[in-house]
Amino acid sequence: MDRANDLAGTLYRTREAMKNSEIAEVFDELAHLLELRGENAFRVRAYRTAARSIADLSESVADILADPSRDLTRYAGIGATIAEKCKTLVETGLLPQLEELRTSTPAVLLKMTRIPGLGIKKALALQQELNIESLEELRQACLDHRVQKLKGFAAKTEESILAGIDIAEAASLRMRIDQAERLVARLREHLTECDAIDNIEFAGSYRRGKETVGDIDILVISRDADRVMDQLASLPGMVSQTARGETKMSIRVDEQFQVDLRVVGAESFGAALQYFTGSKEHNVAIRGRARKLGLTVNEYGVAKLDQPDKIFAGESEEALYGALGLSWIPPELREGRHEIEWSEAGHSPPPLIELKHIIADLHMHTTATDGSNSIEEMAQAARALGLQYIAITDHSKRVSMARGLDATRLLEQWQAIDAYNARQNDGFRVLTGIECDILEAGPMDLPDEVLAQADWVIGSIHYGQKQSRQQITDRIVGALTNPHVDVIAHPTGRLIGSRPPYEVDMDAVIEAAAEFRKALELNANPMRLDLNEEHLMAAVRAGVPIAINTDAHSTDGLQVMRFGIMQARRALIEQDQVLNTWALERLLQFLERS
């Protein structure tokens, strides 16, 4: 975790006690910064252990601390020092030690550690020995071949660093959608404390549900712009105010990300919301449409070309689109593809997938491998979310670091699932499943006679991701031809901002999935969101069903489904195209492939 990509640690809570996940993030960041400083490895490990323990707690740290009869140090991984820091975080929303580390740690070190394959020790060596102060300086050092001359570095390492700099630069400029969501929640909470605000909306790429967000646009209706801007200026964690006018203000958060505030009148709020939501391509198309009708459109509303001062249709987005002869277009679709032509034809918005349509989650892990909760706990949490069935899909044995399951342990787990199902009387069902690795040489990690006994088999790649495009494509297509494999998980292997997708021919993968009547996963984890929207569109066009799964490793992990829904909506995906919106009977019929 670093300052470039996790604003949650900077935007402190002042009214609501910090959640366990937020406290865990603080300790993770603390460990990361201490490691960058070359601090004692034991201290670093202690903070990381505490972060995992706190993230896995089933109770709120704040609730435990509030109960005089409870002792936080009785929980594994939480000593007296950690407990005291938790108390500080819950009471104040900040940790002075972390603030000092953020201030004193060179920002370039944080960016360098986001270069794929460049560890902390090598980043430290580069920064200190070459006096690197920016990624551009590191790029030049690679181009000048100064890196390979250092002890412990080689020409191949230098090439790898050079190739990864673009990834690190992009990661330092944009937030993932989940990080943007946390920032938006904090901004909303802080701003709505101001009673001069009548309405507030967030626009830009955040409103369009993009995978990553560069800055945050806020639109406010208010009778007192100065009070609103004063309120924003008091945001805890604000680094600097970069601009302020009569109705506009910009601030920088975490030394990098910009937040733009605009105070507008109610009569133009809808037009401003449409304009600042974008995208640029969509707005160009909107203006082109207006000109054809003898109109002009801007952030204040619509006007005739020969009467530019007579503004109308600015109070709502619906009014603005209607004035142009268009039906309202959902923000997720405003990317300048073909949404204007679709709307011109008088089509209503397509019935895009919604979170309420999801009745199952078919990719999750338990304590049998690298998960934090048991089968029963995952099932209970899924029930609480309104799901009707789930699949338990722990790792196969190839993923040894996660204690992957061999055939014996897997069959024992399936027996436990059968016993669990036998005890239920409300119709909820747990499917027997496995996330089975597709081995580097091609075959599946477990024998067909074992996979044949599963309800649901996921094929995935965790190793050999640097193989050639043809090798990886052949591995995935080969898995799709296996009669026992039902879906391919996170098909391109990317981690947003830290690992690019591996080389794979997705057209060939989609073609094979269609031919053999298999599904492809949209992994809803905001670090993955794999497949991307272009691949999703291609898959749906080919008739391939999509499984939107959380890949949860804890009960809290089940909550990320909403990010997958955002991604699916941007790809124009409807309910029936997502197989975990189907009734269980329909899914089982599909899996029979008769």
- Dump pLDDT digits (tens) for 332-360: 999 988 888 888 766 666 789 999 999 99
- Please tell me the distance from the alpha carbon of residue 297 to that of residue 291, in angstroms, as a whole number: 9
Residue 239, pLDDT above cutoff 90: no
Is this structure's pTM higher than 0.85?
A: no
Question: Are 591 and 456 within 8 A, CB to CB?
Answer: yes
Q: Of 4-13, 158-167, 380-389, which gets the smallest average pLDDT?
A: 4-13
Strands 212-213 and 307-312: unpaired
- Dump pLDDT digits (tens) for 551-577: 999 998 999 999 999 999 999 999 999
pLDDT score at 255: 60
Residue 250, pLDDT above cutoff 50: yes
State the average pLDDT over residues 397-412. Answer: 94
> Three-state SS for 282?
helix
The CA-atom distances, in angstroms, between 561 and each of 172, 358, 498 are: 25, 9, 21
Q: What is the mean pLDDT of the chain?
A: 90
Q: What value, to the nearest 5°, has the Cα angle with vertex 588 and ends 587 and 589? A: 90
State the average pLDDT over residues 206-218. Answer: 94
pLDDT score at 318: 95
Question: Are 585 and 397 within 8 A, CB to CB?
Answer: no
- Please tell me the distance from the alpha carbon of residue 504 to that of residue 468, in angstroms, as a whole number: 8
| Other beta carbons within 10 Å of 294 | 9
**Nearest C-alpha neighbor of 78 from the set 98, 44, 54, 45:** 54
- Please tell me the distance from the alpha carbon of residue 502 to that of residue 343, in angstroms, as a whole number: 37
Q: What is the DSSP string of 510-562?
A: HHHHHHTT-EEEEE--TTT-BS-HHHHHHHHHTT--EEEE--BSSSGGGGGHH
Q: Of 62-66, 255-259, 467-471, which gets the smallest average pLDDT?
A: 255-259
* Domains of the chain: residue spans and CATH: 7-173 (1.10.150.110), 175-264 (3.30.460.10), 269-344 (3.30.210.10), 355-592 (3.20.20.140)
State the average pLDDT over residues 262-283. Answer: 96
Computed from CA positions of residues 374, 379, 385, 391, in that sequence, does the dihedral angle turn out positive or negative? Answer: positive
- Please tell me the distance from the alpha carbon of residue 304 to that of residue 295, in angstroms, as a whole number: 4
- Dump pLDDT digits (tens) for 5-23: 333 333 223 335 677 878 8
Residue 594, pLDDT above cutoff 80: no
Computed from CA positions of residues 472, 474, 476, 478, in that sequence, does the dihedral angle turn out positive or negative? Answer: negative
Question: Residue 361 is encoded by which pair of tokens?
Answer: 């989650």
Q: Of 95-99, 427-431, 546-550, which gets the smallest average pLDDT?
A: 95-99
Residue 526, pLDDT above cutoff 60: yes
Mean pLDDT highest for which of 152-161, 251-260, 403-412? 403-412
Q: Of 199-203, 216-220, 339-343, which gets the smallest average pLDDT?
A: 339-343
- Dump pLDDT digits (tens) for 105-135: 777 887 887 787 787 888 888 888 898 888 8
